[in-house]
Structure 1
Amino acid sequence: MPEVLRNLNDNLKQQVALYEELNVLEIEKQKALIANNLQGIEEITAQEEQLLLGANHLEKERMLWAEHIGRDLGKASEDLTLVELAEHFPVLEEVRLDLDKVVSRLQEVHDINAQLLQQAMKIVEFTVGMLTHQEKNTYAHPHRRENERNEKLHLLDRRI
């Protein structure tokens, strides 16, 4: 195997390992989100930042190796996909599959975490609205008449 191809393969394997670590952290973050553990979320986010810096470094390195290979294939490095490279160089097929799997798993967990965060934000917005006497009700009773819907719902009585 040519050195450039070996370097690209090693780089992709390192990316797979890094994304596996990110996946573990995302699962831990999910647990922290469910438990409302703000300190845990903060610590995990700091760890993720460091891993993402490493991923950025590996991606820049990967682009350099892809540029070398692209010259040999007569294509620009940004036009080369890993699927296409694996077709030309079957040795990359295994790492391509591994990378696809880990990124898919990471995306699934990340999507769930994003939904958890959105739900938490809706609860916070509702609570703040209740405490600050916002004019708009977030929830309306479906059987109330229109003029009844405009009534304010307040958690705290202003007279207090």
Structure 2
Amino acid sequence: MSFVSQIFIAGIFATIVMTFFSYVLSFFLKSNFKEPQIINLIIFKTLKNQSYVKRHDIYGWIIHFAVGILFVAVFKIIRIYFLVDLTYFTGFIYGFFGGILGVIIYALAFAVHPNPPVNNRILFYCQLVVGHIIFGLVMLFFLRHL
């Protein structure tokens, strides 16, 4: 299978599983941890004409999946240049650090946003790290089996 196909397939499936985790946790904890919705709200609540974009629109999904695919591409590049093995421990560590990066990015976005989405920030950040660990493990599964 080609390099690009591996990145695309692993990125799509890892993002699906991570997003499913966020949606399930949102349901049980009665809070919004749904990254595609939060992305829509962060981007489009700053616009003066907010009426045409809703939190369920596809824009957040496209951005979310694009970032997931990019995340896998960066891993593949790191793997080539640093000879990283395809172990689940590697996926765990990569996911953990990706989660920390995600927390930093969301924290900055919430801090500079004039009207940030409302959710429990501590729980959101914790689930974001766990979700990225899940992402890293699913990514490794697909990269090992493609």
**Do both share a fold (TM > 0.5)?**
no
Of structures 1 and 2, the one scoring higher in RCO (CA 8 A, sep 6+) is: 2
Name the larger-Rg structure: 1
Q: Give the alignment's TM-score, normalised by structure 2.
A: 0.31
